[in-house]
Structure 1
Amino acid sequence: MRINKPLYYLLIVLLVAYGCSNTKYLPEGEMLYVGGEVTVKDSLIKKKERKAMEKELEALLRPKTNSAFLGLRFKLYIYNLAGEPKKEKGFKHWLRTKVGEPPVLFSQVDLDYNADILQNYAENKGYFKTRTTADSTSNNRRAKALYTVTTGKQYLINKVTFPDSTGTQLDSVIGRMSRRSLLKKGQPYDLDVIKSERERIDARLKNKGYFYFNPDYLIIQVDSTIGKYEVNLKVKVKDDTPEVAKNVYTINNIFIYPNYSLTSKDSVVYPASAIQEYKDFKIIDTANTFRPIIYDRTMFFHKGDIYSRRDHNLSLNRLVNLGPFKFVKNDFHPSDSVKNALDAYYYFTPLTRKSIRIETLGKTNSANYNGSEVNVNWINRNTFRAAELLTLTVFGGLEIQASGQNKGYNVYRVGTEASLVWPRFISPIRIQDSSAYVPRTKALLSYEYQNRQKLYSLNSSRAQFGYLWKDNIRTEHQLFVADINYVSSTNVTPEYQMQADTVPSLQRVIDKQLIFGPTYSYTFTNTMQKRKKHTFYYKGSLDLAGTLAGLVTGANVKKGDTINLFSVPFSQFVKMEHDFRHYLKLSDNSQLASRIIAGVGMPYGNSGILPYIRQFFIGGTNSIRAFRARSIGPGTYRNDELDANAFLPDQSGDLKLEINTEYRAKLFSVVHGAVFVDAGNIWLWNKDPDRPGAQFSSKFLNELAVGTGAGLRFDLSFLVLRLDLAFPLRKPWLPEGERWVLGDIDFGSGAWRKENLVFNIAIGYPF
């Protein structure tokens, strides 16, 4: 792209003027602080390590400079542009205080303080002979702080000594912890590692019954006089450590108060006759609210056990995750009757047992359908007095297309659902679970009636029974051993039937469908770890439909041996889907999010194609945003013979590949921006003569649809409102060699915009 010289000079002048405008508003005699620069001088450190250390040291400098993008301080410019507001409200006040940012002045910088911080940091990393100096430089009312850190050679660990078995019992226990010590011979001295080692030892001691111990009772002595830039470390218990911290404690009585009130100080005072003893627990529940079985399956402590911080935390986590409690807390007190023993007290504040919730939702999608939905939920959190969760739901909604090819083909849906969740495994085989999360058994029954106006109606019934459990905070499993889905159609209009008579894929939408078999999904995520640079999300699912029934009956649709159950051919297929996401943290306010979805469904035996409700779809607000929902594929197929006044059918397939990447950055306040690229398609497993080009082949990469766009996200804490504007870069249905349409992009053409620009409104991020 060429830029003529007058325009180039104009840009330079504007940038210079912009820079000057940020300093002319400064108070008299003040300079704008534009940052600190640290130079590490040491010939023994490799250049790469030296640069990394300089970056770490610069992050310690205070204050931080005004935020900038490509060297331009937009927030400071807006602050100056807004001027001093006359009142503490209105647009001018909002612009200056919320969007703008006051200047960071050089007079706010304490050079000596920062130099001391750098000196301490270097010494804590083992550079004991560090020298630090500070200076500054200025130009055009801008000042920069300059720091020089001369480190010298870094001290390494020569030997680590732990207490031996000849000392106290506590010394002997600590001595046996040396094998997994964080302090290793030959590693650099690092004060942070020493602190972590004290915390590691304390955590191990807490799991061995040392309830009153804490890291401050440990000291790690450092001897740096041995020469050769090495240190000897000695781990020992402080001489003034109290005796209670040296004793191992066991659990004596366990008191449980299931109806503890946060507002009543006398809520834990009950007569002895009110105490119910169940196994190792003393339960004070005069209202008989809960069956004692829930404590036996949730608590990890039993009378006589050695106190363990792990069991302590596991018990609390499981109680919190049990469901019926609003607040959970516990205390430990020395036992009056047993020496070196603790009495445990657990206080639970229950949620309201029964409640009703009404939800009203607004919905929109890139197929130009807009609508709303109302859900009424009745909840019983303690159905059979063992924390079972019963949810009864009634819902109804509609989606209307005000303009576009499907105008008038509105969608109405009503339905009901009942689910019951037990906070344990309901199984003939006893399954022992020792994680911090309560395993659950779930049973569900649902029915939905969906009417597609002027086309058809569908009745869908579903029954599920299965298990949900978590190994830890990052992983989750769902296994439904029984998952039955039955779909039938009614009110098929002549308009739709006429189309379905010529397009078999449309006929399959209204055919009766019977699907049964186990389903399983596994989810892993560490996205909750906000400080990590790389975080991941993965969900894999497996659907095995009709497998045993197909083996028993010998069904084979290719030979004409189709088997019916209740006058309906049952579906037989294997379906897998993998959703992998990667989040790269670029800064505190920006990230690169990427996703790849790969799915395949293989029909066999009693089925020649996946049932419509189990097929893959692509395109839309959370998929390839440059194309209408469910409008892409399969493969290179496109029905160009559709009547402009007829409905636009959804496209579905047996295989799916989707790739997305999105750059996200905070612009100001609650407003975030994004630019994105999406690609993907769906295909059929078997050849369909009515849809040429739909079958999956080795040319699948040449059949991907590609789109791009930009958008805004309004992060309002309780929800994220997303606005995306996208357009296609590649259309797979065009002839080979003509599928890339970059040369056709013309934002000035109304016809191009009408055909290609897709505006998406959605709630939440696409991935």
Structure 2
Amino acid sequence: MVLLIISCNAVKKVQEDQHLLTENKIFVNDEEISKRQIFDQLYQEPNAKLPLLGIPLKLHIYNAANPNPDTTFYKWLHKKPKREKRLINWLSKKQVEKIGQSYVGFHEFLEDAGEAPVILNKEKTERSASRLKAWYWNHGWFNVETDYNIEKLENKRAKVEYRIKPHQAYILDSISERIASPQTDSVYQQHKEESLVVSGEQFETDKFNAERDRIVSLFRNNGFYHFEQEYISFDADTIDTNHKVNIDLVIADRNIQKEDTAYTVPYRAHYISDVNIFTDYTYSNKERSITDSASFKGYTLYSFDKLKYKPEAIADAVFIKKGEVYRDLDRSLTYRRMNQLGIFKYPDIQYMSDPRDSTGTQLITNIFLTPKEKFGVDFNFDVSRSNIQDFGIGFGGSLLIRNVFGGAETLEIGGRGSIGSSNDAADSEDRFFNISEIGADVNLSFPKIAFPINTDGIIPKSMFPFTTVSAGVSTQQNIGLDKHNVTGKFNYRWYPNDELTHRLDLIDLQYVRNLNSSNYFNVYRNSFSRLNNIAQNNFDQVENSYFNEDSNPNDDNLPNLSIPDGAQSFIRDFNNNTYNFSSEENQITRNIIERRNRLTQDNLILASNFSYIKNTKENIYDQDFTQFRFKVEAAGSTLSLVAPLLNLDKNDNDNYNLFGVEFSQYGKFETDFIKHWDLGQQNIFAIRALGGIAVPYGNSNSIPFARSFFAGGANDNRGWQAYDLGPGSSGGINEFNEANMKITLNAEYRFNLFGQLNSAVFVDAGNIWNVLDNVEDERSRFTSIKDFREIAVSSGLGLRYDLSFFVIRFDVGFKTYNPAYNRQEWFQHYNFAHAVYNVGINYPF
């Protein structure tokens, strides 16, 4: 394919008197530069090329399009006298027309998906040189010189070189102010040290624009309701200053135009005299009279019908306060908080002069709120296939109740269920749909921190706090070990600023009960196979009744252990030291028993955790941002303290049981760092570093399966399927491999192919290990710094189709370094036969 593309003629659609622009070079003081920021000033850049290969794929796609497809099709159709007639007789006239339309549509698609050749334009080259000059001028090089040279080649191609001589840059020297209004001058002087225009720094136009924005924000957040940016100007003096700039900041008085008269007045701070909130405003209500009202801490709430909201709940979402100075920030915070409540449409906030005030400095605030529908209903349905089920149907629904108790609360009640078909079902009974799961959830959210002590001093309402109480139950039938799962959470979340999110799960409860533990070896066939091999290798020591049928020890085909009775009896005898196995067989059997006991035991987890999340991404289109998250979790500590006081029973492991279940006790830490660099022209480089460790102690010697780590999959190390990698160098011998320590490193270079189709090349590295728990297999454990050699590496490439609201992703991962191999770990299975194909939604990080 690459050879075919290379052989394409890039100048196929370039006219004889035209030249294809193939390269731009920029030299500053005769030194070539590559800064993307500088190249972005050019009006013409060569056609985009594929990274590494350097092929203008989009150009070749465009060139492949027929410029006159309709004419070409009809020429072909009528080339032979009877061709059209034969096609019509064979198909129909309508079908032949559709073939022509499809042919035309395909070539139109090629044109849209491709990229027209960039033809050298001298006028655009001159404009580019002028724009480069303007860029350097705006960064302080007032004496900059720019020039360009066009090199036209014989093969209808051309190159352009831009040459720049910046000369000496200008530095800011003295900075003075002329501010007409005394009140604005007083506010400015109080915040003068925050100025972005600083003496001694190089002149930059962008800093002056940013300083204008700062001054406008400063004044409009200190009461100056009428202040606008047009009243700010900067006078610069560079005459005989030896490459220094003297700046004079000028802020004029307010200009008022009344009919044919214009005059100026000094700015004066405005204050809020009243705050009126209309809680059920609609266009149809505008002519109606108010029938109900209430007052709370300076706020007056009005309603055209009976007031349905607790005054304190609505007032708590308003940051504009009676008697305080006018601030743009208060209005923005009110907009944001009202939207977060989810019970109103976008609010309308209006200010008007108070007719009772003779000074002209008082403002009345009117807030118009339009309620959303009290009830919302949602349904979902899906069809799926997975490694658990061959075919599955899922369904669910939820009922949303807004303002359920009158305090802006939101209550959501949901149910979900699924049925499926699986050859591995515990009890198929010859039914097609032989596995099922059903569950229900309830979630109550309200806009404050619910705590016995007032937390406003620590978490003020400007941090938009929420409290959520949730609970859920689910049950499975014929899926693995079958489970009852009960969850409950009581958590807080708040936002210290636009980039930060804090979340505290004060109570995180999970109870897991296995209903069919005897089915373990039917589900975890790898574990059974290894246990069965040991039993068969020592057939003469094992009771014949443990096997599926009687057999002579001399037979070549030995029977298998029966499930569950035979396998359980074999394990019981092993624990009673009945057998004389080799040390390796003893270790393998102990590992199998340890894993079986852990995965079949019921779990009771009572934890608390805190999450810190920082995200500099401004919107969905921002491609240059940083994300950082860490989470700390502690489970079982409270229960461990009260267990002796409650005189709880202990089990055979000398650990406490609560309601017959050994509660988990551990400490857990997770961190995740993501960084994206926008390289321009839809090229993005992204990295991620993720790590975590969970250490059992006290009442536990292992981590519950639900809270452990796994590796592999579409969003992790893509050379391995989910749960297939690790732990350590063990080689993923279990169906679901997990451990209590994890490291993952990812790097990905993303680029556009054509249209909405993007691609990427990536390298993933990482693994999981057991540490400080009861796993004895040395291959799975992390014991020293040398074990970092067991970090697995994969690499590959992928395709991504961008549908704007989400991305469909297909990645192919190759095992580049596999720590499970004792020798020749690198590139041992680097081929499509051992590749892993991942399908996902949105980007992996």
How high is the TM-score relative to the length of structure 2?
Answer: 0.79
Q: How many angstroms does 1:632 deviate by?
A: 2.8
Contact 1:206-1:307 at 8 Å conserved across structures: yes
Q: After superposition, where does 1:319-330 map in structure 2 within 5 Å?
A: 319-330=338-349
Q: Which residue of 2 aligns with 1:701?
A: 788
Describe the SS at the equivalent of 2:440.
strand
Q: Which residue of 1 aligns with 2:691?
A: 598
Summarize the Cα distance change of 1:131–1:371 in structure 2 as closer, same or farther, 3 Å threshold.
same
Q: Structure 2: how far apart are the matches of 1:378 and 1:693?
A: 50
Q: Which residue of 1 aligns with 2:476?
A: 450
Q: Structure 2: how far apart are the matches of 1:759 and 1:402?
A: 23
Matched, 1:587 2:665: no
Amino acid at match of 1:67: A
2:336 to 317, 323, 338: 317
Matched, 1:423 2:447: yes
Deviates more, 1:691-700 or 1:423-432: 691-700
Q: Structure 2: how far apart are the matches of 1:240 and 1:764?
A: 51
Amino acid at match of 1:334: S
Q: Which residue of 1 aligns with 2:799?
A: 712
Q: Which residue of 2 aligns with 1:354?
A: 375
Q: How many angstroms does 1:237 deviate by?
A: 1.7
Q: After superposition, where does 1:543-582 map in structure 2 within 5 Å?
A: 543-553=633-643, 560-582=653-675
Q: How many angstroms does 1:161 deviate by?
A: 0.6
Q: How many angstroms does 1:442 deviate by?
A: 0.8
Matched, 1:155 2:155: no
Describe the SS at the equivalent of 2:173.
strand
Q: How many angstroms does 1:234 deviate by?
A: 0.9
Q: Which residue of 2 aligns with 1:331?
A: 350
Q: Structure 2: how far apart are the matches of 1:634 and 1:34?
A: 50
Describe the SS at the equivalent of 1:606.
coil
Describe the SS at the equivalent of 1:628.
coil
Amino acid at match of 2:14: L
1:680 to 766, 769, 783: 766
Amino acid at match of 1:762: G
Identity fraction in percent: 25
Q: Structure 1: how far apart are the matches of 2:244 and 2:419?
A: 74
Q: How many angstroms does 1:307 deviate by?
A: 0.4
1:733 to 813, 817, 820: 820
2:299 to 274, 277, 281: 281
- Provide the aligned C-alpha RMSD in A: 3.4
Q: How many angstroms does 1:713 deviate by?
A: 1.6
Contact 1:212-1:244 at 8 Å conserved across structures: no
Matched, 1:100 2:91: no
Q: How many angstroms does 1:56 deviate by?
A: 4.3
Contact 2:731-2:820 at 8 Å conserved across structures: yes
Matched, 1:522 2:636: no
Q: Structure 1: how far apart are the matches of 2:285 and 2:38?
A: 54
Describe the SS at the equivalent of 1:742.
coil
Q: Which residue of 2 aligns with 1:644?
A: none
Summarize the Cα distance change of 1:79–1:560 in structure 2 as closer, same or farther, 3 Å threshold.
closer
Deviates more, 1:327-336 or 1:722-731: 722-731
Q: Which residue of 1 aligns with 2:728?
A: 635
Q: How many angstroms does 1:719 deviate by?
A: 2.5
Contact 2:720-2:815 at 8 Å conserved across structures: yes
Q: Which residue of 2 aligns with 1:469?
A: 494
Q: Which residue of 1 aligns with 2:47?
A: 66
Q: How many angstroms does 1:599 deviate by?
A: 1.6
Q: How many angstroms does 1:446 deviate by?
A: 0.5
Summarize the Cα distance change of 1:56–1:545 in structure 2 as closer, same or farther, 3 Å threshold.
closer
Summarize the Cα distance change of 1:435–1:589 in structure 2 as closer, same or farther, 3 Å threshold.
farther
Q: Structure 2: how far apart are the matches of 1:85 and 1:655?
A: 62
Q: How many angstroms does 1:694 deviate by?
A: 2.5
Contact 1:556-1:605 at 8 Å conserved across structures: no
Q: Which residue of 2 aligns with 1:31?
A: 19
Amino acid at match of 2:611: S
Q: Structure 2: how far apart are the matches of 1:557 and 1:684?
A: 26
The gaps in structure 1 that reach 5 residues or longer are 1-9, 641-647, 748-752
Q: Which of the pair has more CA radius of gyration?
A: 2
Describe the SS at the equivalent of 1:162.
strand
Summarize the Cα distance change of 1:30–1:290 in structure 2 as closer, same or farther, 3 Å threshold.
same
Matched, 1:491 2:516: yes
Summarize the Cα distance change of 1:450–1:65 in structure 2 as closer, same or farther, 3 Å threshold.
same
Amino acid at match of 2:301: I
Q: After superposition, where does 1:623-662 map in structure 2 within 5 Å?
A: 623-637=716-730, 649-662=735-748
Contact 1:687-1:695 at 8 Å conserved across structures: no
1:128 to 126, 142, 148: 142
Q: Structure 2: how far apart are the matches of 1:198 and 1:639?
A: 61
2:216 to 202, 218, 232: 202
Q: Structure 2: how far apart are the matches of 1:676 and 1:167?
A: 59
Q: How many angstroms does 1:372 deviate by?
A: 4.7
Q: How many angstroms does 1:134 deviate by?
A: 4.9
Q: Which residue of 1 aligns with 2:249?
A: 235
Q: After superposition, where does 1:190-269 map in structure 2 within 5 Å?
A: 190-238=204-252, 241-242=255-256, 243=264, 246-261=267-282, 264=283, 267-269=285-287
Q: Which residue of 1 aligns with 2:132?
A: 118
Matched, 1:414 2:438: yes
Q: Structure 1: how far apart are the matches of 2:112 and 2:21?
A: 21
Matched, 1:760 2:838: yes
How many aligned residue pairs are there?
727
Matched, 1:460 2:485: yes
Contact 1:365-1:761 at 8 Å conserved across structures: no
Summarize the Cα distance change of 1:371–1:480 in structure 2 as closer, same or farther, 3 Å threshold.
same
Q: Structure 2: how far apart are the matches of 1:368 and 1:694?
A: 29
Q: Which residue of 2 aligns with 1:373?
A: 394
Q: How many angstroms does 1:148 deviate by?
A: 4.1
Deviation per residue, 1:392-447 (Å, 9 max, x gap): 1111235667899xx99986422111110111111111111446552111111110
Q: Structure 2: how far apart are the matches of 1:135 and 1:706?
A: 47
Describe the SS at the equivalent of 2:820.
coil
Describe the SS at the equivalent of 1:518.
strand
Matched, 1:78 2:78: no
Q: Which residue of 1 aligns with 2:549?
A: none
Deviates more, 1:215-224 or 1:527-536: 527-536
Summarize the Cα distance change of 1:244–1:660 in structure 2 as closer, same or farther, 3 Å threshold.
same
Contact 1:365-1:620 at 8 Å conserved across structures: no
Amino acid at match of 1:669: G
Summarize the Cα distance change of 1:764–1:119 in structure 2 as closer, same or farther, 3 Å threshold.
closer
Describe the SS at the equivalent of 1:349.
coil
Q: How many angstroms does 1:580 deviate by?
A: 2.1
Amino acid at match of 1:541: K
Amino acid at match of 1:675: V
Q: How many angstroms does 1:248 deviate by?
A: 0.9
Describe the SS at the equivalent of 1:106.
coil
Q: How many angstroms does 1:304 deviate by?
A: 1.4
Q: How many angstroms does 1:40 deviate by?
A: 3.9
Q: After superposition, where does 1:175-190 map in structure 2 within 5 Å?
A: 175-190=189-204
Contact 2:150-2:161 at 8 Å conserved across structures: yes
Q: Structure 2: how far apart are the matches of 1:177 and 1:562?
A: 62
Q: Structure 2: how far apart are the matches of 1:508 and 1:149?
A: 70
Summarize the Cα distance change of 1:254–1:714 in structure 2 as closer, same or farther, 3 Å threshold.
same
Q: Which residue of 2 aligns with 1:645?
A: none
Contact 1:484-1:516 at 8 Å conserved across structures: yes
Q: How many angstroms does 1:483 deviate by?
A: 1.9
Describe the SS at the equivalent of 1:444.
strand
Deviates more, 1:137-146 or 1:477-486: 137-146
Q: How many angstroms does 1:278 deviate by?
A: 3.5
How high is the TM-score relative to the length of structure 1?
Answer: 0.86
Q: How many angstroms does 1:369 deviate by?
A: 6.8
Amino acid at match of 1:258: T
Matched, 1:439 2:465: yes
